């Protein structure tokens, strides 16, 4: 069975692949000449469906997209769908993290959550699931694993940031991991 993971983010491919043992995995990077669609929706669901639908049209294979982001309560749930572009188009993770720390300077309420919406598009039907993990934004980064805002995202129950977790540990508690568990359940009767 083939699965197209509709992303250009190699970290997402790594995290998602672990849930699809036995599948032949490809991503957008394997589709010659393919250009990922612009993420024009203001909702995770909308962008996940845009990416999964574009992947399915281009490949004809079962296509799974993740649209995800960080929602910070004191910032009115920003950066949200703009998480990867917070410090500008093509911003680096470091620039995004620096902007976040600047925006939260002096802020006492540092609660935040990661949200992942997965959309699966295939010949039979469309599945959409959501996963969430709650945490707190630290004042300084900690840890080298993961990507994006992981070094700033502290999980009190584990006394670790997301970037201090192994891939397996992150998948067990992360927004994406939680959404993938829900998707696996739905896939049983796909």
Q: Residues interacting with ligand ITT, by CB under 6 A?
A: 7-9, 12, 36, 39, 66-70, 83-84, 96, 114, 146-150, 162, 174, 176
Residue nearest ligand ITT (C-beta atom): 148
| Residue whose CB is less far from ligand ITT, 108 or 126 | 126
Out of 30, 66, 67, 109, the active site residue is 67
Q: Report in angstroms how near the CB of residue 36 gets to ligand ITT at its nearest.
A: 6
- Distant-in-sequence, close-in-space partners of 11: CB < 8 Å, separation ≥ 6: 146, 147, 148
Q: Report in angstroms how near the CB of residue 189 gets to ligand ITT at its nearest.
A: 27
| Residue whose CB is less far from ligand ITT, 11 or 186 | 11
Q: Report in angstroms how near the CB of residue 149 gets to ligand ITT at its nearest.
A: 4
| Residue whose CB is less far from ligand ITT, 20 or 189 | 20
| Residue whose CB is less far from ligand ITT, 23 or 147 | 147
Q: Report in angstroms how near the CB of residue 187 gets to ligand ITT at its nearest.
A: 20
- Active-site annotation holds for 67: yes
- Distant-in-sequence, close-in-space partners of 78: CB < 8 Å, separation ≥ 6: 71, 72, 86
- Distant-in-sequence, close-in-space partners of 172: CB < 8 Å, separation ≥ 6: none
Are 18 and 167 within 8 A, CB to CB? yes
Interatomic CA distance for residues 104 and 85, integer angstroms: 17
Are 52 and 65 within 8 A, CB to CB? yes
Q: Count CA atoms closer than 13 A to 79's CA, side-chain side.
A: 22
Count of C-beta atoms within a 10 Å radius of residue 145: 16
Positions marked active-site: 67
């Amino acid at each position: 069975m083939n699965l197209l993971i509709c992303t250009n983010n190699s970290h997402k491919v790594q995290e998602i692949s672990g849930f699809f043992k036995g599948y032949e995995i490809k991503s957008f990077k394997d589709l010659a000449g393919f250009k990922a669609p612009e993420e024009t929706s203001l909702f995770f669901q909308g962008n996940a469906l845009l990416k999964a639908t574009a992947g399915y049209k281009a490949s004809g294979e079962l296509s799974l997209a993740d649209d995800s982001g960080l929602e910070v309560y004191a910032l009115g749930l920003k950066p949200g769908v703009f998480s990867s572009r917070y410090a500008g188009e093509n911003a680096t993770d470091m620039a995004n993290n620096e902007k976040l720390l600047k925006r939260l300077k002096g802020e006492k309420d540092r609660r935040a959550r990661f949200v992942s919406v997965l959309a699966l598009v295939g010949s039979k039907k469309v599945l959409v699931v959501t996963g969430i993990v709650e945490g707190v934004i630290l004042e300084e980064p900690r840890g080298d694993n993961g990507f994006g805002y992981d070094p700033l995202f502290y999980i009190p129950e584990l006394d670790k940031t997301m970037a201090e977790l192994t891939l397996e540990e992150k998948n067990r508690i992360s927004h994406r991991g939680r959404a993938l568990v829900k998707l696996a359940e739905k896939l049983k009767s796909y």
